[in-house]
Amino acid sequence: MINNSCIISKFDKNCKSNKFKFPYKFVDHAKHELLNYQTKYLYQCNKCFIIYTKDKRLKKELDKFYFGKKYRKERKNIHVDSGTLGAQNRSTYYSYANLISKEINLISPKVLDVGCYKGELLKELAKQYKNGKYHGYDIKMDNKKLFLKKNKFKFWNNLNLIKEKFDLITCVNTLQYHPVTKLLIHKMRKLLNEDGKLFLVVHNASLANPYGLTYGDQYTWYTKKNLYNLLIKNNLEGKILSHYKSFPRNIIAIIKKNKNKNYKFLKEAKVSLQINYLKKVEKRIISLQKITKNFYILGNTAGSTFIFEIFKKQKIKVKNFVDENPEKINSLFKGKKIIHPSKILKNSILILPYGKTNNAIYKKLKRKYKFKFFKV
């Protein structure tokens, strides 16, 4: 562990970062496939505590991917609200729009969605606010072809060209994929009305979702505290949620402009805490082969991939991946068929790879199924 200059925040000349060896494989967030190029280290600023990569070769590959045609083809646009497991599946965009309507007082808002892609979130917000005006921004002009073709919807591919101010700016799981974090925050703040709100969502990389560290196609990783530090430094403040039921592995911030320059950064634990958690998970998974040979893994997430790679390394076979979502059943993940929990064989173990968010999932499944569970 050595000191390095923080390349993400650069809050002041004394801002340094610690270097941590990361002993696991990185995957992409769209297909959960191993990255072609694997970096060996993560960095964490010892002032703002933001976690980031510093590998120039990896950054070059990420820039090429996100600003190229391949990303538009591979990008996922259908996401299921995890709070509806075992019930009616609803898109995350429906749930985000519902949350916004409950938490933010809006009448006929002018809205900008940063990282809009097809405009699905704006479409759901338009159902909540019939008289609103909706703008979407994404980096590729090609996305305009996919964007909503209606009068109250407008597409942008350059934030610098937007001269209007907005009552609400949404940025859902986009910040961590932007190569210059502070620049994007600054631009969004500039486009807010004085009493406007910014609805920000990022992946949670704390112990609540330690497997999130394996998303190697991110430029930055966030916890509740380091996100607070980034926002407060950029004159933004508000409510930051990290345990919202429908999005247990996300951090949600509902924030506004703040001119108070007298602030203090929150102290955060070192990222080695999450790395050590993953090491313990690896040991526990290896010990399972003494109990049974019938293993199933729930979901097709970063956690599912992490567990699968441990089994693969130990030459232990996984029967199937498991999901209740009918849209995923019978599809393939890692070359294995995804099956419904009711198809699991007797004397089997279903591994729940969701960190501290396992308990809620376990309680739902335990009421319906009799096989053994293993939470990691």
Q: How remote is the C-alpha of 93 from its chain's centroid?
A: 14
Average pLDDT over residues 47-52: 93
Bigger pLDDT: 92 vs 275: 275
pLDDT at 4: 59
Average pLDDT over residues 90-114: 93
Q: Provide the whole-model pTM.
A: 0.89
Phi-psi region of 142 (alpha: psi -120 to 50; beta: other; left: phi over 0): alpha
Does the pLDDT value for residue 38 go beyond 50? Answer: yes
Across the chain, mean pLDDT equals: 88
Please tell us whether the domain made up of 73-257 is placed in CATH 3.20.20.120: no
pLDDT at 64: 84
In the chain, % of residues over pLDDT 90 = 64
| Shared fold status for 73-257 and 272-375 | yes
Interval 284-316: pLDDT, tens: 999 998 888 899 999 999 999 999 999 999 999
* Confidence tier at 144 by pLDDT (50, 70, 90): low
Does the pLDDT value for residue 77 go beyond 50? Answer: no
User: Which amino acid appears at position 72 of this protein?
Assistant: R
Bigger pLDDT: 8 vs 330: 330
Does the pLDDT value for residue 10 go beyond 70? Answer: no
* Confidence tier at 357 by pLDDT (50, 70, 90): confident
pLDDT at 338: 97
User: Both tokens of residue 109?
Assistant: 């808002």
In the chain, % of residues over pLDDT 70 = 88
Angle in degrees, 0-180, between the axes of helices 302-313 and 272-287, rounded to the nearest 10: 50
Does the pLDDT value for residue 88 go beyond 80? Answer: no
Q: What is the dihedral of CA 284, 289, 294, 296, to 10 degrees?
A: 20
- Per mean pLDDT, which range of 45-49, 108-112, 340-344 is the poorest? 45-49
Backbone angles phi, psi at 259, to 5 degrees: -100, 0
How far apart CA 42 and CA 130 sit, in angstroms, is 45
Does the pLDDT value for residue 14 go beyond 90? Answer: no
Instruction: Judge contact between 243 and 224, C-beta under 8 A.
Output: no
How far apart CA 64 and CA 52 sit, in angstroms, is 18
pLDDT at 87: 44
pLDDT at 60: 86
> What residues does 202 pair with on adjacent strands?
251
pLDDT at 83: 47
pLDDT at 293: 83
Q: In the chain, where are the structural domains located? A: 3-65, 73-257, 272-375
User: Which amino acid appears at position 264 of this protein?
Assistant: K
Query: Counting runs of H as helices and runs of E as strands, what totals does the chain give?
Result: 9, 18
Residues with Cβ < 8 Å from 62, sequence gap 6 or more? 179, 217, 219
Does the pLDDT value for residue 73 go beyond 60? Answer: no
* Confidence tier at 84 by pLDDT (50, 70, 90): very low
pLDDT at 63: 85
Q: How remote is the C-alpha of 16 from its chain's centroid?
A: 26
Does the pLDDT value for residue 3 go beyond 70? Answer: no
Interval 222-243: pLDDT, tens: 999 999 999 999 999 999 998 7
Instruction: Judge contact between 102 and 246, C-beta under 8 A.
Output: no
The CATH code for residues 272-375 is: 3.40.50.20
H or E segment to which residue 321 belongs: strand 320-322
Residue 170: name the closest of 251, 278, 263, 254 by CA.
Answer: 254
pLDDT at 12: 52
Instruction: Judge contact between 271 and 299, C-beta under 8 A.
Output: no
Interval 167-220: pLDDT, tens: 999 999 999 999 889 899 999 999 999 999 999 999 999 988 899 999 999 999
